[in-house]
Structure formats: structure tokens, C-alpha cells
A and B are shown apart, each in its own frame.
Chain A
């Protein structure tokens, strides 16, 4: 199966500053993928490279098997909602729909007009007078009405109030459900992603720190608390992501595919937000290979 986005050693430099460096990531198709990371992690740069708004300085990126920005066919296959949902203030909502319709042969006029009606937008209204939430919705309509194979959304929720955020995600989920489109959605707010994403990628300093199906990630991570001990004394199939200690107690976030057998620990499940924050806090993944394995004694 062709990945939605696949990059190898991808880097983008503006002058002497690297906005994205040595980024190797595979974003699967057919899923709603959340891309999380702190500000400046390179999310926007990566997404701009994916939709052909930037050319890579080094490395390669393929989107749906094609080179981004290679031609109108590639443009038509990928819908994009840019950060802050830019629109032409002096043009009307209907003008914006025409702007999407003229160049895209796959444009679905009924879908576009239907969604505008559903949103309660007046086609004659100037886009400059729309609220932030309405602008984001218009941008989403423009991106989905060309019936793309991949929908890329760059921080679509950042500037929306909680109600608008909820409505936007609802609109997005309707589209995903009815069109079966692949989605890549970036955000620095994990709570928003938790409700909609099947797959999560954590990006920090251009590097992929964590990638996987959301249910698997939640199942594989566990928070352990118990008497104080050195993290390096844990069995080798348990990777310590984050550890905190008091005089007597230790609390650790651990990744493991095995059940936790040590009776000294109390194991608790974690939320996606805890998980992401733990990964972003620790600079480098801990090495597990040198530590002893804990075996079941028979």
C-alpha cells in the first residue's frame, strides 16, 4: 500500500536556519493521522513540503506516491487547510468556491454548495467578514470539495474557540466517514486529536519520537508507581520513558509489550496527553538493550 506521506532524510533550510532536519517519517494512508509536536518542531514545514508549498533543501518526500508540487494532478489529489485558514477578504464565499472549481476537474459542486448551506453561510458574503470558525469551515469545504485522496490540515483548531473547534472536528469527521479520505492533522493540543485520530506521530526537533496506532500506544504504555528504585534496574522489555522520584517512591512511564509482573509496582493506564508530554519532555529515548531481562521463574 502506498503511504500517504513518506519522507527520507528530509530537510528544509531557510538561509542558515534549519526548519526541518533529517526527517524520516512514514504516514500511513487510510487513517486519520495526528501529527503532534511543540511549536517549532517543524510540523508546518513538513506539511508545506508535503503539499508542494516548499521545495526540500535535502532528502526526498513522496505524497501518495507522487512528488509534491509536480503538477495540477498532484495538487488536485491533496486537499490542504493552511494554518489560520487564509481567505481572500475581498472575495465572496461563492467566489472562493469558483476558485476551487475552475482548476480542479474532480470538483464536487453539489458537495461544496451543500456544505456551505449546511453551515449557514451566505454565498454572497465577503470572506473577510467571516468569523474564525466560519473561515476554517470554508477552507475545509474548499479542501474537501475537490475530492482529494489526502486531506492535510495544519493546526486547524489553533485559533478556534471550543465550540467552533467542536463543530470543525464534527465537519471533518463527517467528511472522513462519507469520503474515506486519508487525513493528516497537525496540532499541539493532544486532547483535540485524541477524539479523532487513529494514528499518532510525535515530532520533536524534526525527529519522529513516537509513531503508532492510538489504541496500541495506549495499551503499550503504563504508569508504574512503587518503592523507590533505579530505572536501569527494570527488565529490558520495559523502556522507561519518564521517571520521577521522591525519597521513598518512584513513578515511571514505561513502554512494554509484556504485562508488568513485578508485584512491587502498581500499574495505571495513561492518557494520550500524558504520553505525548512524557515523550516531549525526555530528550532521547532510553536504551533498553543492556539491561537484564526479567523472566518468569517456574
Chain B
């Protein structure tokens, strides 16, 4: 029976195999150069060099390839769902070949073996790709000090995404029984799943850490303080407030940076207006952008001195509270997310088998 499934899958397997080989060649050709460059610039700067500029110069290398790999890592699990998952059963129904296949092999057996074989192949493709890209990008990642920035493109989680996308595609294919609608619905469903997970599940998997910093005259002068409002998920703007500079915690995933007083109450707009009546007047422009998780609109005051005064004044009562996921949570989060996606894939696949059984027997 496995041979039967392999017979039907070999064309797709060939495409995936060629893709992996091409990727391996590209990365093997460009990778050693990156390691060499890292050793020569970033690693060597410890001996009295300008590390910050060495790092930023290094992070400009291979920009196009890095972008392409990012796109690849995000898109390939989805493509597996769309082109391996959705058509798996939908095509059988659409072309009527289920009448041939399922009168030769019992449908449950056929489906379980197909799910197992192509599901494992999905995991293998995503896993190998992630392994290669993670290896290739390791000099960049260690220079960047932001491991969470590429969390979903490295290590284990792409395996979970691929197999969950595959199982989602199969289930939708079973329910819709037409290839093109199944592909479109799988696309919508998988994007929605990823967004929901990113915004509502991953931040709550592990309790975050907190770091409090007192605000002094020095920190007010040094940092990149600004005044503006943060943009929410749906583009809603909150009230304008004082925004501290991004905290310098290595490899942290920062949830929020807020100003709170000793009792933990946040800085209110009225308290801010009372302390710094001049703030916001004569604002010069806005910048910043909105990402998936929200962004901020910054309004810099033309008068840097006024801002400094204000920060110092606020610092008397308020301190900075950073809520973040520390670097040591990276691997627990990777494993937990992988486990959740694997469980999801098993659940979705099970629903697919059940839906076919309900129709047939």
C-alpha cells in the first residue's frame, strides 16, 4: 500500500527533491563566504575594534539572498498545504478517480497511508530546508542579536507549519471536493491560522519576564525618546504618550515597554500633560510603520531639550517596565509550538479520515 501511495506521489516528490538540491547548492556556495566574513569582521572586532559598525556592515551582506530565503521559509509550508494537501483528496473526487482507487483499496487505508507518507514528506522537506537555512543564516543571526525576529523561519517550527498546512489542505479538500476552491480556502485558512497563532497563542505560551529600569537624566539624554501613539492590530491609534527607546536586551522578544509608577499604574495622558505641558506642541512630523502586531506613530518634538526635561521630570515618579520573552525561552517556545502544530496536524488529518468515512461507510 505504501508503494501505491509512493506511485501517486513520485512526481511531487521529484519536484520537491530538485528544489531542495538547488537550495542546497546555492547555500553551499554562498554560506562559507558568510562564515569567513563573520570571522574576519564581527568576531574579530572584540580586539579593540568598532563592533557596532562592524555588525551593521556585516548585516548588509547578501541582502537579496536573505530576503529570498525569508520569503521561501514563510511560503514553502503554505505551498505544501496548497499543492500537496488540498488536491490530495479533492482531485480524486473532481476527476472521479476515487471510484477507481477506493474500489481497489479500502478508503480508510488509502487515506491513512497517503496522509502518513505525504505528511512525513512535508515534514522532511520543511525540516531539511529549515536545517540548511538555519545553518546558512547562523552568522547573521548571531550578529543580529534578535533571534526572535526569525523565530518562524528557523529550527523546528517550519516542520510543524508544513505538516499542519498539509493536513488542513487535505481536510478542506475532503469537504470541498474541488481542487481550485480547496486550494483557495486552504490559503485563507492557513494564513488565518498563522495570524491567530502569532498574535494570540505564541505570546501566551510561556509567562514573560520583566525588567525595570529607573529613568535618570542620563538615560533621558542618551536614549531615543519620543512622543506619539502606538498603533493597534486594526490600525487604531491610542492616546499619545511618551515612548521610551527600545530596550537593549539581547535576543529578547519585547512585548511592551511601558512607564509605570511604584504601584504599577501606567502613565496616564493627563499626568503626562500635567508634567510636561509643552509636549506635543510644534510637532514636526510622524514616522514609523504598522506591522502585523501593531506599530507606532512617533511624533518627535522639535525641542529636544523640552523632551529631555519632561523625561527627567517623569522619571522622578515613573520607571520603565519592559515585558519580554528572554533568549532562554527560545528553545522551549520552539518545541512547544512544534508540538502544538503537530497535534493540530494529527487532529485535522483525523477529521479528514472521519469525513471520508462518514460519506462512504
A interface with B by C-beta (< 8 Å): 48, 51-55, 67-72, 75, 78-80, 82-84, 86-91, 95, 98-100, 102-104, 139, 142-143, 146
Do A82 and B100 touch (CB < 8 A)?
yes
Do B97 and A88 touch (CB < 8 A)?
yes
Do A103 and B97 touch (CB < 8 A)?
no
Do B3 and A98 touch (CB < 8 A)?
yes
Do A69 and B97 touch (CB < 8 A)?
no
Interface residues on B, range: 20 to 34
Do B104 and A103 touch (CB < 8 A)?
yes
Do A69 and B106 touch (CB < 8 A)?
yes
By beta carbon, the residue of chain B nearest A71 is B106
Nearest Cβ distance between residue A138 and chain B, in whole angstroms? 10
Do A86 and B95 touch (CB < 8 A)?
yes
Q: Which residues of chain A are within 8 angstroms of B359 by Cβ–Cβ distance?
A: 54-55
Describe B's contact surface by its main secondary structure: helix
Instruction: Please tell me if B292 contacts chain A, counting CB pairs below 8 Å.
Output: no
Q: Which residues of chain B are within 8 angstroms of A146 by Cβ–Cβ distance?
A: 104
Query: How many angstroms between the C-alpha atoms of A90 and B95 in the bound complex?
Result: 12
Do A86 and B96 touch (CB < 8 A)?
yes
| A53-B360, A72-B109, A99-B7 known; A82 vs B96 contact (CB < 8 Å) | yes
Interface hub of B8, B96, B99 (most chain A Cβ within 10 A):
B99
Query: How many angstroms between the C-alpha atoms of A72 and B101 in the bound complex?
Result: 12
Query: How many angstroms between the C-alpha atoms of A283 and B358 in the bound complex?
Result: 35
Instruction: Please tell me if B188 contacts chain A, counting CB pairs below 8 Å.
Output: no
| A69-B361, A91-B7, A103-B4 known; A84 vs B104 contact (CB < 8 Å) | no
Q: Which residues of chain A are within 8 angstroms of B3 by Cβ–Cβ distance?
A: 98, 102
Q: Which residues of chain A are within 8 angstroms of B100 by Cβ–Cβ distance?
A: 82, 86-88, 99, 139, 142
Interface hub of A54, A68, A99, A146 (most chain B Cβ within 10 A):
A99
Per a CB cutoff under 8 Å, which of B95, B104, B360 touches A54? B360
Q: Which residues of chain B are within 8 angstroms of A69 by Cβ–Cβ distance?
A: 106-107, 360-361
By beta carbon, the residue of chain B nearest A146 is B104
Interface hub of B101, B104, B106, B359 (most chain A Cβ within 10 A):
B104
Q: Which residues of chain B are within 8 angstroms of A68 by Cβ–Cβ distance?
A: 361
Query: How many angstroms between the C-alpha atoms of A103 and B103 in the bound complex?
Result: 10
Q: Which residues of chain A are within 8 angstroms of B358 by Cβ–Cβ distance?
A: 55
Query: How many angstroms between the C-alpha atoms of A139 and B104 in the bound complex?
Result: 11
Nearest Cβ distance between residue B103 and chain A, in whole angstroms? 4
Task: Supply 21 A–B pairs (Cβ within 8 Å), ascending by A.
Answer: A52-B102, A52-B103, A52-B107, A52-B360, A53-B102, A55-B360, A69-B106, A72-B106, A75-B102, A78-B103, A80-B103, A82-B99, A86-B95, A86-B97, A87-B97, A91-B8, A98-B3, A99-B100, A99-B101, A103-B105, A146-B104
By beta carbon, the residue of chain B nearest A100 is B104
- CB within 8 Å of A: which of B130-161? none
Q: Which residues of chain B are within 8 angstroms of A53 by Cβ–Cβ distance?
A: 98-99, 102-103, 360
By beta carbon, the residue of chain A nearest B109 is A72
Interface hub of B97, B100, B107 (most chain A Cβ within 10 A):
B100
Nearest Cβ distance between residue A67 and chain B, in whole angstroms? 8
Do A88 and B8 touch (CB < 8 A)?
yes
A interface footprint on B78-112 (CB within 8 Å = 1, 0 otherwise): 00000000000000000111111111111101000
Q: Which residues of chain A are within 8 angstroms of B103 by Cβ–Cβ distance?
A: 51-53, 75, 78-80, 82, 143
Do B361 and A55 touch (CB < 8 A)?
yes
Nearest Cβ distance between residue A91 and chain B, in whole angstroms? 7
Query: How many angstroms between the C-alpha atoms of A75 and B104 in the bound complex?
Result: 6
Query: How many angstroms between the C-alpha atoms of A93 and B231 in the bound complex?
Result: 61
Do A72 and B361 touch (CB < 8 A)?
no
Instruction: Please tell me if B1 contacts chain A, counting CB pairs below 8 Å.
Output: yes
Do B361 and A70 touch (CB < 8 A)?
yes
Instruction: Please tell me if B11 contacts chain A, counting CB pairs below 8 Å.
Output: yes
Nearest Cβ distance between residue A61 and chain B, in whole angstroms? 11
Query: How many angstroms between the C-alpha atoms of A48 and B98 in the bound complex?
Result: 11
Nearest Cβ distance between residue A203 and chain B, in whole angstroms? 20
